[in-house]
Amino acid sequence: MAAHDRLAHQSQVVLRLGQMLLSFGASAYRVKKSMADLARAVGISEHRAQVTYTEIIATAYANGTFRTELAEQRLMGVNADKIDRINNYVASLHGKSVRVEDVSDELDKIAKVPGLYDWFSNALASGLACAAFAFLNGGGWVECSAVAVASFFGQALRRQMLIRHMNHFGVWMACGALAAMIYILLVAPAQHFLGIESTHQAGFISALLFLVPGFPLVTGLIDLVRQDFQGGVGRLVYVTMLVMSAGVAVWAISAVFGWSVTPEYGVSLVPWLHYLLRFLTSFVAAYGFAMLFNSPQRVCATAALIGAVINTARIALHLELGVPAPAAVGLAALAAGLLAVFVARRTRFSRVTLSVPAVVIMIPGVPLYRALTYLNNQQIDDALTALFTVMFTIVAIGMGLALSRMLTDKNWLVEKEERVPNLWEYEEENA
């Protein structure tokens, strides 16, 4: 009985760590590995976990007995800073033994760490990142200016709603509608009174790119590559539902105002200047998304530099050398993963918090939301073209990141055979 009581305390603190990582947006692989590492440190002989996007079922074996527990995590989000804090703490326990009480105290400290950015900084990061996206999507000063304002207010509303733990699908719908409406209310009067061309109408989709759930999308792809299908499929279903919620808002607002989503705008610049601006706007976009993920400034800057390098190279490969777009995206994602590993091994940052903001800027958010509007307008051919563009790009990102993991981590390259725990062995050891 005493052995089982001790195991109960050990397994509960390990399960709590898994719940925290899950709520901060970590992949199923990261959750299971961190739980197993902590389990060894607190004296658990064997630990097995089944992780979905919202639940953890874990079994711990020690002292001739075992214990199975189930935990559900409903408050989902992304907090890269706390993922790194937990990863660094678990890494510091390698080869050590630690008391359950000490682990619980450390988890309490991590849980109490406040967000790194206030609402204004958070919303400003969203506005600037989406304005940079607008430029990368071919927009000029009209699109970028209006997108910056619309995304600022859209993210400000999203933060307030998420703090109050409101339903995510309703949040995405409301914030998408607000951002789209603000963009239209800024550009429509300028068209009427200042004579600005109607070609700027399609730029309003860039105002919604802060709603692209890049972190769960990338971690979901990573889970699928690791064959953690329950976690990966769950994340991708969640991503799909969020995108559809925002897409409904895009369609409704564009239908009410009779607003076009067909791209007609474009910017012509001297090639060297255009590439320089693409590098700078890629940096700003990746930096902004890293801030939305609550990464520290040094992580934001590093991830943004990686993103600027790989995204500018991707554009050059596609436009100058004629490399197909999905292949260019895959190579860029591979480079992002390798650069993230190189930096992570020399810092206390993790690969995921460095690579995800860098590759998020390659997710084709504009074709994604445009496709949903085309579907609602029964423009099936246009919708399918946009959807296939999105699908191949996202798959290329996942494959590039997965290949980088396989090249740098033997646990990703070779699957280990999992031994079924034998309680008789534990009983003999403790006899």
Q: How far apart are CA 276 and CA 372, in angstroms?
A: 32
Provide the pairing of β-strand 65-72 with 55-62: antiparallel
CB 171 within 8 A of CB 158: yes
**CB neighbour list of residue 341: distance below 8 Å, 6 or more residues apart:** 351, 404, 408
Check whether 426 has a pLDDT greater than 60. no
- Counting beta carbons within 10 angstroms of the beta carbon of residue 118, is it exposed (0 to 12), middle (13 to 18) or buried (19 or more)? exposed
CB 180 within 8 A of CB 253: yes
Residue 344: pLDDT band (50, 70, 90) is: confident
CB 401 within 8 A of CB 337: yes
CA distances from 99 to 6, 41, 73 (A): 11, 8, 25
* Residue 366 DSSP one-character state: H
Q: Is 65 helix (H, G, I), strand (E, B) or coil?
A: strand
Which has more pLDDT, 64 or 23? 23
pTM more than 0.85: yes
Residue 105: pLDDT band (50, 70, 90) is: very high
Q: How far apart are CA 22 and CA 31, in angstroms?
A: 7
- Strands lying side by side in the sheet with 65-72: 46-51, 55-62, 65-72
136-158: pLDDT as tens digits? 888 888 888 999 999 999 999 99
162-219: pLDDT as tens digits? 999 899 999 999 999 999 999 989 988 877 676 676 666 667 788 888 998 888 988 8
Sign of CA dihedral 234, 362, 136, 262: negative
Q: Give the pLDDT of residue 13.
A: 93
**Average pLDDT for the chain:** 87
293-306: pLDDT as tens digits? 999 999 999 999 99
Q: Give the pLDDT of residue 197.
A: 67
Q: How far apart are CA 232 and CA 29, in angstroms?
A: 10
What share of the chain in percent tops pLDDT 90?
A: 44
Check whether 120 has a pLDDT greater than 90. yes
